[in-house]
Structure 1
């Protein structure tokens, strides 16, 4: 009988304005170091929740890194109300990162955001001192998505912290050209990884979890 290489614990993290965020911590049996990976789920208004990131979180924990997922306000089992533009949710990301520093003894945090979660977490990168890098899985840079999430772009494009943008070449929200144009003005170190022929929601599916884990781990090694 094999012993599990990771365990999962649930807890509640409360924001200053009273939202109670349902949070899960995926702990490796033998942690590599004190870097904690905080994962931010897709758009709450369209049903996004932390469960969508479970496969990636399990994969990271099995490879020796503590991973944290949470339901942003109004999503899953969290209280509060989701905002249309993800502006209130920036506070959720910040409070979970600070909770990880205080309770998981994280001395470094990697923020990983999926879809709208990439936009929201990008706004939080420079607001948490311990965040040392950022990974975007399908950032919604396209024109239509920018109506909702355009206000988040400036923060991540101007951040000096290292960044990795992962996207499918058939992403329905952002074209490869739109991604390239946005990244022309980016500050600091930036990497991109394109998945040929893959769509936005396809990349969010479990079939790509292992690939996302590998890309995140490669990025951590480069930090």
Structure 2
């Protein structure tokens, strides 16, 4: 991990007495902080029932911090070191996202929040967008819009598609859960500013891998600069 960043661990209380293991990544030298000093990027990890945890987003969070941003990862309920039990459809996990965002507003001075969800974390984060007034933007990394994934996460779609919050959907063109046509068809009903960024020839799990952390970080930074 880069020596020019600091990582702090803490515990955040969610609903039902759940304790969420949380990490805050920030620049060691406050002087190199980005112009978005009051912006915090909250990253929501992939499906915990398939092994998803905050460690999968450590690379992106570290790169964002090294570029001057505050980035936050956390284990949703039942994942990693967090207490509680994971759910199949992710609706209880939405409460965890909201709890972390509110904690950051109260304790870290997060006046603006960018929510970034990876894989199943994308629908979960999307359902939290309108529940936190400080959220100014949303980035999806491989949103599972496809038919099979929609059996689990379909009830989350409306929340983000009907939100006026600026949205960016990043996806590999070889994503096994969502085809490019499925993505375009879904986004036709989206409200407000909605953008896509397709990474040519990349699969769903490839994009989750560390070799794409730098590229994804740059995409997120470009989106932030446009907000």
Please report the TM-score for the alignment, with normalisation by the length of structure 1: 0.98
List per-residue Cα deviations over 1:107-132 (Å, max 9, x = no partner): 10000000000010000001000000
DSSP 3-state at the match of 1:124? helix
Report if aligned partners of 2:15, 2:96 keep a CA contact under 8 Å in 1: no
Report if aligned partners of 2:19, 2:83 keep a CA contact under 8 Å in 1: yes
Report if aligned partners of 2:40, 2:70 keep a CA contact under 8 Å in 1: yes
DSSP 3-state at the match of 1:105? coil
- Determine the structure 2 residue equivalent to 1:144: 148
| Residue 63 (structure 2) pairs with residue 64 (structure 1) | no
Distance in 1 of aligned mates of 2:71 and 2:4:
13
Match of 2:183 among 175, 179, 183: 179
- Determine the structure 1 residue equivalent to 2:118: 114
Aligned pairs for 1:93-132 (under 5 A) are 93-132=97-136
CA shift, 1:5, in A, is: 1.9
CA shift, 1:6, in A, is: 1.0
Aligned pairs for 1:5-16 (under 5 A) are 5-16=4-15
Match of 1:41 among 22, 40, 45: 45
CA shift, 1:77, in A, is: 0.5
List per-residue Cα deviations over 1:72-121 (Å, max 9, x = no partner): 00000000000000010000000000111111101100000000000100
Distance in 1 of aligned mates of 2:122 and 2:215:
17
Q: Judge which range, 21-30 or 156-165, deviates more.
A: 21-30
| Residue 212 (structure 2) pairs with residue 208 (structure 1) | yes
CA shift, 1:174, in A, is: 0.2
Task: Give the RMSD, CA atoms, in angstroms.
Answer: 0.8
DSSP 3-state at the match of 1:215? helix
Distance in 2 of aligned mates of 1:65 and 1:101:
16
Distance in 1 of aligned mates of 2:96 and 2:45:
12
Segments of structure 1 that go 5 or more residues without pairing to the other structure are none
Segments of structure 2 that go 5 or more residues without pairing to the other structure are none
DSSP 3-state at the match of 2:157? helix
Match of 2:157 among 153, 157, 162: 153
Distance in 2 of aligned mates of 1:83 and 1:127:
20
DSSP 3-state at the match of 1:191? strand
Distance in 2 of aligned mates of 1:110 and 1:99:
15
Please report the TM-score for the alignment, with normalisation by the length of structure 2: 0.96
Structure 1 runs, 4 residues or longer, greater than 4 Å off: none
